[in-house]
Each structure stands twice: as structure tokens, then as C-alpha cells.
Amino acid sequence: MLPGGYLKKRLLRIQVGYLLSEGPGNAKEIPITFSQRLQVADELYLDALNGKLILTRTKEGILAQGALQVAHTRECDRCLDTFTHTFTLDVAELFAAHSDTSKSVFFIESNGDIDLAPLLREEVLIEESYRAVCNNSCRGLSAISGNNLNETGESREPLESEADEGLVIDPRLAVLKQLLS
């Protein structure tokens, strides 16, 4: 893949006109397989999006249900480094047959398309409003130097030995200090 290249978000449009003309209860499984960088919104790109959606014709429109695996490069909330955040989105959303905001904020367009992009954008933003870290053992930033503790090996607080320099220290700690130096 070329650097900076990405799949266009129009690929997230699905033609459902044929399902609409069939009666309620008819369903179709749609595989979702994007293994490259994919634009979802002006400011949102995913690294991968995979899974499947079941589209079911209901009285009100088309119900989209399924689980999608998302990979998204974002900042760690602890150390601020970028990492690939992977998570599953459980989708269950009605695309109303007619633009009627009392039933759903999503609707089938006049050409018979549904557009998954605004739905995905909303779901990803909700998911990522929760704290996410690059690794459960991420040590974050030093309160003293501001350095990334995952990289520098600095301790979070001043070492006991630094604070107590010159004082008699516990012999067990002295052994530890020898091991460390």
C-alpha cells in the first residue's frame, strides 16, 4: 500500500433496494472485509474493519446487526504514544425506510443505499470515549521529567536511595541496591 493511501468511505455504502422490495422478514448477510486503511469520516481513518452484518427487512426499514472487528491507530491515554487499538463493535441499528427521525437517525437514501460511515463514526467515537491504553502495563509519563516511562526505564517517583542518600539503609535494601547497580 502506498503511504497515505486509503480506501474511500463510499465503499461503506450498501445497496439495499432489492431487500426493500422483498417483504418483511427477508434477510441478507453482508461480509465486511477491509484490511487496509479506510476513511470513515473527514477526521477518522480505521486500519482495518472486518466482520459481517445481517441486514433484515422489517416493517420500518432495514435492521443492520452484527459484530465488527475494528483496528484504529490512536493515542494511548497514559503515555500518549500511538498504538493500534482493536475492539469489537456490536451493531444493531435501524435504517428507516423514510427519513423519520422519530424512528431512527439513520435512513435508506432515495437511491436505495444505506451508508455505514456515519453509523461507524458514531460507534467508534462512543467506544473511544472510554479510556484506552497501549498495554495494561503501560507506565505512562514521568510526573517529574514528562518522559515516557516505557522507554526510559525511569521510575515514576524519586528512588528511595536518592532521597535518603547518606542515611543508613536497611541491609536488605542495600543488597537490592547492589543488584541494581
DSSP state of 22: S
Task: Provide, rounded to whole angstroms, the least separation between the CB of residue 133 and Zn ion.
Answer: 5
Which is closer to Zn ion, CB of 57 or CB of 78?
78
User: Least distance in Å: CB of 150 to Zn ion?
Assistant: 6
> Footprint of Zn ion on residues 107-136 (CB under 5 A)?
134
DSSP character string of 122-175: HHHHHHTTS---SSTT---B-TTT--BHHHH---SS--HHHHTTTS---HHHHH
Position 141 contacts Zn ion (CB under 5 A): no
Does the footprint of Zn ion cover residue 79 (CB under 5 A)?
A: yes
Q: Note whether 149 binds Zn ion by CB under 5 A.
A: no
Q: What is the CA radius of gyration of the chain?
A: 25
| Closest to Zn ion by CB, 46 or 79 | 79
Read off the C-alpha cell for 161. 536511595
Say whether residue 72 binds Zn ion (CB under 5 A).
Answer: no
* Residue number with CB closer to Zn ion (51 or 140): 140
Q: Which of 78, 107, 108, 114 touches Zn ion by CB under 5 A?
A: 78
In the complex with Zn ion, the residue whose CB is nearer, 53 or 76, is: 76
**Shortest Å distance, C-beta 142 to Zn ion:** 13
CB of 64 to Zn ion, least distance (A): 34
Q: Which three cell numbers stand for residue 28?
A: 441478507
Q: Give the shortest CB-84-to-Zn ion separation in angstroms.
A: 12
Provide the sign of the torsion angle of the four alpha carbons 138, 139, 140, 141, taken in this order.
Answer: negative
CB 50 within 8 A of CB 35: yes
Question: H or E stretch including 88?
Answer: strand 82-96
Q: How far is the CB of 69 from Zn ion (least distance, A)?
A: 22
Tell me which DSSP letter residue 59 carries. Answer: S
Interaction between residue 85 and Zn ion (CB under 5 A)? no
The C-alpha cell 476513511 sits at: 39
Site residues for Zn ion per CB under 5 A: 76, 78-79, 134, 138
